[in-house]
Structure 1
């Protein structure tokens, strides 16, 4: 495949299709833009999106390799669609530079140690080892004068050299803030091959959606991203389906920050450094179903209920061969965990981590799950285990045959009924 990044020009072809909508409903125009490469930080993709203006429409990215040095920003009413696995968005190996002097909140200039490894027009992130996530800063390099880098964005807070403040040439491949009725489909995103460095926080996720509504992400695969694979923060009514996340440094999939009424189904998260699927703060009225989470560095599905998640359903997933738990639920309540196959987890240390963990959890339903180990030397020897201040849970009709300890209850009001151990 050719690498679309620096050469060529942008060609836009608008296909107009008139569709009859029925009596007295008028006509709609479907606008589709085909992208070819140009010299730009997004290889012409952002320019194609922007050409649609407020009318919206479809941007088609043909097969090929498309090099990014800043995020593609997805607005409302736009579908960004590729040709399947043959359409690859990718970035260069990361370049990290430490700050030579402190910066103040609201400033836009940072001074780096040594030669500046960035160029004008590319996107970088700035953070330290004290606070990251929403407290970091992302911006475009507007000018470079010696060791001084001028950014498009103001610093969210002050940063000091003592806290190992640094800049990195990492950014979400695709981001959206407040978009509605948008779509991402049918392409691949690749991070630097073989990346084994720092786990950069969720604001660097390959796909980072914030405060979006009615957005669909379908048939997108992420490989080896230095952060999380697909993250959705805040917003509602978002659907992520038939997607895959392989070998990312962080979590494979990451809903969080109050996301409501989201559907995550028919996905695969394998070999990621964190959880295959990670519930973050205050996720509610959402489902994670019909997916496979295997060989991840922490849990298959982790963070359930942590940080105020409530009233979610986790059903019909396969969580297998993960380093720690199959499903890990901590410090929360009101979750339904049902119909999952939890197999051969606790790979980090045999017998250390149960298949399903309920720690400081209340008013949850755990039912009709199968917990097993199919290895010659079993590692997952505990089935479903309550611990900490856990109570008022219903644990029923689970099959834990083959576990040394099938179901362990500590809550005075919890009930274990009809389980086979």
Structure 2
């Protein structure tokens, strides 16, 4: 079996059925998708959408007729055409299709993310893809091009390796920034898409930094759900490490380039650390801690992660070192992802059982005579315990938002 990047294994095997998903940075929605592809942890969910004209005939027909695509892996690659012109394509993420369906003239693909991808050599993936003469676009400029962006690979992609480590993420981001800079050189459409106000300056490349949520190892206190959300045990604390890296053109920081901003919408969870991770160095890692309350039932909500770019006024750069205040900058949210968040898994059930059992024991009375204890003596305690357990599980308490 072929090995790439030293000891890293190939991302795919010859037995895998692989769909190639090409994407670009032409539109704001594509920018958001690309950021999430390069940033979300393994197990996270992302939705890709393709118009019918950009989907191969066999994939479209199979999705329309069967409804279920089976066990299909995806290879997501980011593409751009620079000013030379030259196509720059990098494989960035591996995933598994959870569902695929046709909604009118759009194919909707829900992908569960897996390993970060890296290549054997510069442009080796694109060279391999071109050698098989697939019906891919001839270029990836801002003007819509004929060609297929979603298709099934008829060969084994041997030039990409896959890994979930931080080192693999760093290699993935390097490829991302190569494509982003090629896109910036090739056209200004990406910068125009980030803001309707033409007076607002946008950074070179328009994706000045990327992040990665390094979640702790799954265990009793927390796990990733099949839906791509987080399940945190009641009364627990988890620490999420936020890794950040910036584009090569950002070297000296007199002002922060932006921030990763987190927000919770769950009455049973709260931050015990700062929810903001400022991007003020080339490479950094910060910790965000979340604590949950003790509960008698599960609490549902979401964890929101936003990628915010700071666009400073031109006057702030007059001497090259002026510090720009919050009032003299615009904050542009270029990506947002909401993780479903469930607080409470086993602990609410155990707590309710213990309280219900205590209520049953409290009402139990031994017979006053010398009669033997029979099943009828346990009827009332059992009924009280069952009703107490049911009431606790249904939430017989004041809601925290009330």
Query: Shorter-chain TM-score: what band?
Result: under 0.3
Structure ranking higher in helix proportion: 2
Structure 2 length normalisation: TM-score?
0.26
Greater RCO (CA < 8 Å, at least 6 residues apart): 2
Larger radius of gyration: 2
Structure ranking higher in strand proportion: 1
